[in-house]
Structure 1
Amino acid sequence: MTEQTTAQAALLEDEEISLIDLAIALGEEKTTILKVTGLFTAVAVVVALLLPNIYTAKTVMMPPQQQQSGAASALASLGGLAGLAGAAAGIKSPDEMYVAFMQSEGLQKSIIEKLKLQERYDTKTIADTRKKLQDNVKIAPDKKSGLISIEADDKDPEFAAQLANLHVDELRVLLGRLAVTDAQQRRMFYEQQIKKVQVELAEAEQSFRQAKAQSGMQVTAVLAESGVRASAELRGQIAAREVQMSAMSRFATAQNPDVQRLGGELSALRSQLNKLEQGSGVAETSTPLQQQAVRSYRDVKVQEAMLEVLIKQYELARVDEAKEGPLLQQLDVATAPERKAKPKRAMIVLAAAFGGLFLSLLFAFVRRALRKSLETDQGSTQMVLLHKAWSFKR
């Protein structure tokens, strides 16, 4: 028990000596500690005061929840947007897709040009300006609410609000352009088909008038009784739906429900036409001239039916073209913030003060250790060897 008590006493004595040595070291280097800490603090105060105030403006938007037109339906299935979203590979949700749109090169270039950011940021290239813009604008989707927040930083609070709101405006323009582009393509396609059918209809009417004059018969009465009129209308419906299928193939795949519906209707119409024309129509007329008149009349009715359907589809495409793009709602419009967001001057000064205090303490302990080592012969010898090892003079 006596030996154990003696050991514990020695340990406590060593600890007390260490604490005393620590206090002595701090006391001997107190001037250095105060000077270094004060210097760091003073520099931090100057730097914090020189840093400009940065204001953060925030806007919140709700991306489109559903599409409003045939063109927008194509957007929903990424038919028209897939090319633009190429830079956004790996997108897992619609929110991330809209974030990628706002970070796309085309949209950012438009913002840079409208706000003259290259001059404001004093950058040499558009690439440098885009990088600076991305550093100053934070776009983040909220997984729970589905909303997207846009935070813009700038020295001018008014400009920060303008920068945040312009991202929403440019996204709205981009989505509208994509939707209108698809509607334009469909409208132009139907315009071409209408012109083509009008020419064929004029030729069919001319051919029918000639055949009717040569046959000398009331073709319409014969056709009404024989059922060729119904056959002509079916042919017209089939041809019109084939045109629709051709138009939809530009922005929809074979798995699209509308494409599958049209395919089913075409199959049913063709089956109905085969049943109707078996043993009826042209074969029941008496002379070749009358048969030619019947065929010419049927061609006229086919072209008329096609023209009617094409005009309806053309009007629908024009309506889609006149509509706005997907509805993008801005819940909170960014306004000029009244208070700065950064720099946090107090935090900068405190961090610098603690950093200076830590470095000064470390320096004090090192100096104390070196000074004590020089007081012994072994320590002096080690210092000489250390100096010689690190000396470049041989």
Structure 2
Amino acid sequence: MNEEIKKIEEDEINLIDLFLVLAKRKSLIIGITLTVAIITAIISLIIPPIYKAETKFLPPQQSSLTASQLLSQTVEQMTGIAPEMLGVKSISDLYAEILKSNTILDGIIDKFDLMKVYDVSYRVDARKKLLSNIEVSVDKKSGIIKLSVYDKDPKRAADMANAFVEELKNLTKNLGITEASKRRIYFEERLKEVKEELAKAEEDMKRFQEKTGTVSVEEQAKAVIGSIANLRAQIAAKEAEIKAMKTYATPNNPELKRAEEALKTLRAELSRLEAKGGSNPNPLIPTQRFPEVSKEYLRKMRDLKFYEDLYGFLLKAYEAAKLDEAKDAPVIAVIDKATPPERKAKPKRTIMVLVATISAFFFSIFIAFFKEYIEKINQDPEQKQKIETIKNYLNFSFNFKKINFKRKIFNKS
């Protein structure tokens, strides 16, 4: 019982001693705390205000394997790290990583001349500065991506946030070269060529009619002309389809094999019809049945009909490829467009001053106790003697190093 009472009395004495030290050093504590608070307040007023502009958008919600593979390959090419290693688990995470890619950052740097704004000489420094001024977060439930951009100019902050989304749209559009895109590009080129040939055939027919007048041909000849021209157009369209398929399909692809079989059938049918015209592979009907003028007319009519049918086939294939491409195209839906913020985001002056004041207060308490400890040591002869001994040891070590250094210089000389 007596021991417990003694312990309580010692604790009370210790607490009283602590308060005595604080009361004794109150000027030091108050001085340090107020000084730091005032300096922090002045600094917070000098620091230029920083504004934050935010935009929210929803990435393409495609369930197709092609879109996921395409974006995964894109992130791996830009960062050199597999998306799984970066913690990328969804389409939204992939788009969030693409926003931080050098391609996107360079587009923003060039558009807003940020190397001059950030006062840097190297592009890599501008990228680091820009990355430090953006925040990208993904809502795990909805998949919505929020992009925040910090800048001294509120309008530039909003423009940069919106420009990030536009750069992302352009990049994903350029990367989205799917099978439908390849077919569309191929048919588009073929359409231009066939259109030029069709215009030439129409011009040849017009010149021929103006020169000789209209020539009547038998209905049978017209039917044969139409059949052969139609078959040739189908063959040309099928060849174009096969070439387009070979840009993305393997030789063992079932659809490619079916298309090649269909092409063989069409060629066989064309050979059967042309064989009726004699030994010449080009005549449509026996040439002995028509005078020379009729033969010329039939040749031009055949060419015109061929290019008309071929153009129609290619146009249908082109439109179908465009529809498929539109289905595969990534669509980024902007939910909230960034607008110039009215209030600054940084610095938060109240928090700055409050944190600095509290930190300075506890630091000043530490200094007060430290000074009190030094003062007590100086008053204790035994402790003072120990400090002097330590100083002597340190002084001896320092002098010993000086002597060795002088000896080395002397030996060299």
Q: 1:21-48: CA deviations, max 9, x gaps?
A: 2122222222211221122112111111
Is 1:314 matched with 2:318? yes
Shift of 1:97: 2.5
Answer whether contact 2:78 2:102 (CA < 8 A) is retained: no
How many residues matched? 355
Whole-angstrom distance in 2 between the partners of 1:311 and 1:74? 29
Give the 3 Å change call, closer, same or farther, for CA 150–86 of structure 1 in structure 2.
Answer: same
Query: Does the aligned pair in 2 maintain the 1:36–1:356 contact within 8 Å?
Result: yes
Q: Which residue of 1 aligns with 2:167?
A: 170
CA distance in structure 2 between the aligned counterparts of 1:193 and 1:81, rounded to whole angstroms: 33
Distance 2:40 2:117 in 1: 27
* Cα distance between partner residues in 2 of 1:172 and 1:303: 39
1:334 to 338, 342, 349: 338
Long gaps (5+) in structure 2: 202-217, 287-302, 401-413
Q: Does 1:139 align with 2:129?
A: no
User: Alignment partner of 1:171: what SS?
Assistant: helix
Q: CA deviation at 1:327?
A: 2.6
4+ long deviations beyond 6 Å: 180-184, 196-199, 270-274, 290-296, 300-307, 318-324
Q: Which one of 51, 55, 58 corresponds to residue 55 of structure 1?
A: 51
Identical-pair percentage: 31
Matched, 1:64 2:65: no
Structure 1 residue 330: Cα displacement: 1.3
Asked if structure 2 preserves the Cα contact closer than 8 Å seen for 1:178 and 1:325, the reply is no
Superposed, 1:291-370 pairs within 5 Å as: 309-317=313-321, 326-370=330-374
**Residue 3 of structure 2: aligned partner:** 7
> Which amino acid counterpart does residue 247 of structure 1 have in structure 2?
A
Give 1:153-302 correspondences, 5 Å limit.
153-178=150-175, 186-190=183-187, 195=193, 233=231, 240-241=237-238, 243-250=240-247, 252=248, 262-263=255-256, 265-266=258-259, 269=262, 289=279
User: More displaced, 304-313 or 149-158?
Assistant: 304-313
* Residue 86 (1) aligns with residue 74 (2): no
Deviations 1:306-360 (A, max 9, x none): 7654343234456788999533221111112121111111111111111111121
Bigger mean CA offset, 88-97 vs 183-192: 183-192
2: CA distance between counterparts of 1:190 and 1:116? Answer: 40
Cα pair distance change 1:95/1:106, threshold 3 Å: same
Report the TM-score, using the length of structure 2 for normalisation: 0.68
2:121 counterpart of 1:124? yes
* 1:139-173 deviation line (CA, Å, top 9, x unaligned): 22222111111111112222211111111222233
TM-score, with length taken from structure 1? 0.71
For the residues of structure 2 that align with 1:64 and 1:16, how far apart are their CA atoms?
Answer: 69
Kindly report the root-mean-square deviation, in angstroms, between the aligned alpha carbons of the 2 structures. Answer: 4.7
* Change beyond 3 A, Cα 1:13–1:393: farther
